[in-house]
Amino acid sequence: MTAYDVSDVVPSAAHIEQTERYAARNYHPLPVVLASGDGAWVTDVEGRRYLDCLAGYSALNFGHRHPRLVRRAQEQIERLTLTSRAFYNDQLGPFSQALAELTGKDRVLPMNSGAEAVETAIKVSRKWGYLAKGVEPGRATILTMRGNFHGRTTTIVGFSDDELASADYGPFTPGFASVPYGDIEAVADALDDTVVAVLFEPVQGEGGVVLPPPGFLQELRALCTERGVLMVADEIQSGLARTGRTFACDHEDVAPDVYVLGKALGGGLYPVSAVAADDGVLGLVKPGTHGSTFGGNPLAAAIGHEVVGMLATGEFQERARVLGDRLANRLGALVGGGVQAVRVRGLWAGVDIDPELMTGREACEGLMRRGVLAKDTHGSTVRFAPPLVATESDVDLLAGALEDVIDVRVARRAGVTPGRPSPA
């Protein structure tokens, strides 16, 4: 990567002060101001480089400014960017066909943000329940899982059990019920005649890369089929090669009735999301019953089509698998020495640090000082999701930095100076 020009730059402190003054504080960012990115690495306004181990919550699976995606976006920007679906455009058809074939579904409905795709999946699930299953009008129920994270709209936070996300935003949309994640018996008990869909994450990302019990996805598939309920997989973070397979559901050879996709579908360049399902579900959506000004626009479709083409080679799925194995081995060695548990699926890891040692935020601040950017969640858990273009040395850097952060804190707690012999 070419050196970043730091001449005449506004210092980080000034950017942070300006942002804090004028931008609403909906996040609690680390005190780093990024100015450029290339592959798995980013550079701040003072020229310091960092390994990006958040990757835009998996939106940057292909890294920052992937040349193939940038080239395709530039080509389309010079031709046509927006029509709205009041008209046809020459990019939406090819993209829709490619994504339908990738998911094995008849149709796709492109949207923009992940939350918008989840809202779309909720709407089409209810419509299917009334028109196909015969649920009494106004009584459709969607079953969700505790610990979920599907977005930030009023409807979505209403069925979240994260009080920070939902506090002071009610009243909430009715029609949802919740069961413990991975508990197939609880799902079975909750499936009454009003339930039209089970909405779940194959891996709960925001929850700390929480994996379902082995066999749960297969059991859920069989149960949904038996009871006549849609199986709706939110693969917004877990899909598109992050876990070492194209979709996280592939790890148990399961095909849901509905895929909800986003984040990496836009290649880190543009917000692109979609719902994919067969004609029996998406065929019920008629003109005028749903829409989006930007959904399916030619720029989004061109980028999304290129992403699907990149996934078709299997290269990124294999990289996630191989690098993930390396990451699992390195992080697993830390368990018992300040780390309580590690969960890894592909190049995606959740690390539970001993809360008596430090918070997840403190760990991320320590990592930042060592040139690694990551994000904490739920107290003392840190998530790692480097771009899939990362190298083996990048993975080693990540693990080594975390080990150093923990060793320093353990040593301080024991009253030992790091790097020196312990007192007799």
Residues 175, 194: Cα–Cα separation, whole Å: 9
CB 395 within 8 A of CB 327: yes
Nearest-angstrom CA–CA distance, 168 and 60: 32
Residue 348 neighbours by CB under 8 Å, 6+ apart:
58, 203, 205, 209, 238, 242, 243, 320, 324, 383, 384, 385
- Residue 92 region, left (φ>0) first, then alpha (ψ -120 to 50), else beta? alpha
- The angle formed by the CA atoms of residues 254, 260 and 67, to the nearest 5 degrees, is 105
Q: Give the list of residues 6+ apart from residue 347 with CB closer than 8 angstroms, or none.
A: 242, 244, 319, 320, 323, 324, 327, 385, 386, 388, 390
Distance between alpha carbon 62 and the CA centroid of its chain, in Å?
A: 13
Q: Are 32 and 41 in contact (CB under 8 A)?
A: no
**Beta carbons of 159 and 214 less than 8 angstroms apart:** no
8 Å CB contact between 279 and 108:
no
Of these residues, 62, 95, 149, 384, which one is catalytic?
149
Given 200, 263, 316, 375, the catalytic residue: 263
Determine which one of 234, 352, 376, 394 is catalytic: 234
318's enclosing H/E stretch is helix 315-332
What element of type H or E holds 68? helix 67-77
DSSP character at residue 335: B
Which string of DSSP letters, residue by residue, matches 245-293? SSSGGGGGT---SEEEE-GGGGTTTS--EEEEE-HHHHTT--TTSS--S
149 belongs to the catalytic site: yes
d(CA 386, CA 42): 12
Tokens of 319: 């990289």
User: What residues are annotated to the active site?
Assistant: 149, 234, 263
